Amino acid sequence: MDLLDDAQELRPELIELRAALHREPEVGLELPRTRDRVLSALAGLPLEISTGTATTSVTAVLRGTAPGTAPGTAPGTAPGTAPGTAPDAVAGPGDASASDQGRSTVLLRGDMDALPLDERSGEDFSATNGAMHACGHDLHTSALVGAARLLCAHRDRLAGDVVFMFQPGEEGYDGAGVMIREGVLDAAGRRPDHAYALHVLPHALPAGIVAGRPGPMLAAAYALDVTVRGAGGHGAFPHLARDPIMAAAEMVGALQVAVARSFDAFDPVIFSVGVLRGGTARNIIPDTASFEATVRAFNPDLEDRLRETFTRSLRGVAAAHGVEVDVELSAQYPATINDATEVEFAAGVARELLGEEHYYPMPNPVNASEDFSRVLDAVPGAMFLLGACPPGLDPEGAPANHSPLARFDGSVLPTAAALLADLAANRLAG
């Protein structure tokens, strides 16, 4: 299979799909227009397709038809059906027959949701609805469609099944968790043996470079919500009030110090405040103030220590100011841990497909977080990064993911589609 050449032939339609998705981004778990575009792009392929009920997810299962991988009948073929015959285009998940036992299954994932952000990228297909594909999920979705098309064209070479996981709600809504609860890991009738995903970067890596590492790849994410309750008053008489804004401001600084002095620098913790609220007018001391922060760490054993450290520090500042504080630390996504064997396998596939110089072994993990971690908690697999820095921009200085200025090079779509397809094809080679 020369999947890279085949993927280049798909380039115009993949770029067109990406632009259509980018123009109409949707946020969260309900992405009806995005789902419908994915279903349209998959129409006519020999896939078993199901959609979510708690979210607008799409799950598609491809049954490979390579002979000799299960006793009695060709794999993925119902008794009495000629090998190679396509199943119905739409069927329920979990329809694998008993003769399919012993087959391998590979899961490939692409997330579909956007961010609540006003786009300022300058692209001809920029969104204007107050949302933006500033994390490149439009490329992920298009690449997974491309991988599905490539693998469907070569299903007679696949000695197993492929699950295509089109996921909403990665950006803080735990869409992977929702899909897992709805059965995506059992869509083929058995748990996947391997799982892979790609994430594009508009910065840091040159276009077309694939990067990965064994072990921790991305950090765990925690949400810290803090509410400070004081007593309001006139801004001219602060001694008659108990100012929650001043207390909250000191708390932010105190937590930075607590993180730096309570955790090993070689077992890092990142603390960043993204929201700070309080007050209605410049001369009114309010009753309450609040802030929200994200916390990142790679060691799952730190959660209890994080909660204790934050609570102790915040209550100490509150006592000094004569205010009260409510503290809530909640786990969002676990750390993304790449299986070492899967990374070694996938790095070999990438080097063979793209060339030795196109794979970069990362020395360090990244502090961003991903709910693909939930899949990797259940299935051996790996996530990789793919450079998508546009021509003419320096990857070191280009706007990063989540920036309203972020731009992604759509020409990497054939590379992404071919790599995802090749990972599955090599795992399922007949």
Over residues 193-216, the pLDDT tens digits come to: 999 999 999 999 999 999 999 999
**CA end-to-end span of the chain, whole Å?**
12
- Cα–Cα distance, 20 to 412 (Å, whole number): 17
DSSP 235-294: TT-GGGSB-HHHHHHHHHHHHHHHHHHHS-TTS-EEEEEEEEEE-SSTTEE-SEEEEEEE
Is residue 205 within 8 A of residue 263, CB to CB? The reply is no
Residue ranges of domains in the chain: 3-217+335-427, 220-333
Per CATH, the number for 220-333 is 3.30.70.360
- Cα–Cα distance, 298 to 219 (Å, whole number): 5
Confidence (pLDDT) at 91 = 40
Q: Which tens digits make up the pLDDT trace of 160-192?
A: 999 999 999 999 999 999 999 999 999 999 999
- Cα–Cα distance, 327 to 220 (Å, whole number): 19
pLDDT over 70 at 288, yes or no: yes
Model confidence band, residue 230 (pLDDT cutoffs 50, 70, 90) = very high
Average pLDDT estimate for 336-365: 97
pLDDT over 70 at 374, yes or no: yes
Pick from 235, 229, 138, 179: which is nearest to 375 by CA? 179
Architecture of domain 3-217+335-427: 3-Layer(aba) Sandwich (3.40)
At 392 the three-state DSSP class reads: coil
pTM of model > 0.75: yes
Listed range (92-106, 177-191, 282-296, 319-333) with the worst mean pLDDT: 92-106
DSSP code at position 159: S
Backbone angles phi, psi at 23, to 5 degrees: -65, -30
Confidence (pLDDT) at 103 = 81
Pick from 186, 44, 17: which is nearest to 110 by CA? 17
Q: What is the mean pLDDT of the chain?
A: 92
Pick from 329, 326, 325: which is nearest to 306 by CA? 329
Backbone angles phi, psi at 297, to 5 degrees: -155, 160
Q: Which tens digits make up the pLDDT trace of 146-162?
A: 999 999 999 999 999 99
Pick from 237, 148, 229, 195: which is nearest to 416 by CA? 148
Q: Which tens digits make up the pLDDT trace of 20-37?
A: 999 999 999 999 999 999
Pick from 430, 414, 421: which is nearest to 349 by CA? 421
Q: 3-state SS of the chain: helix, strand, coil percent to 5? A: 35, 25, 40
At 233 the three-state DSSP class reads: strand
Is residue 430 within 8 A of residue 84, CB to CB? The reply is no
> Percentage of the chain with pLDDT > 90?
90
Model confidence band, residue 98 (pLDDT cutoffs 50, 70, 90) = very low
Confidence (pLDDT) at 282 = 96
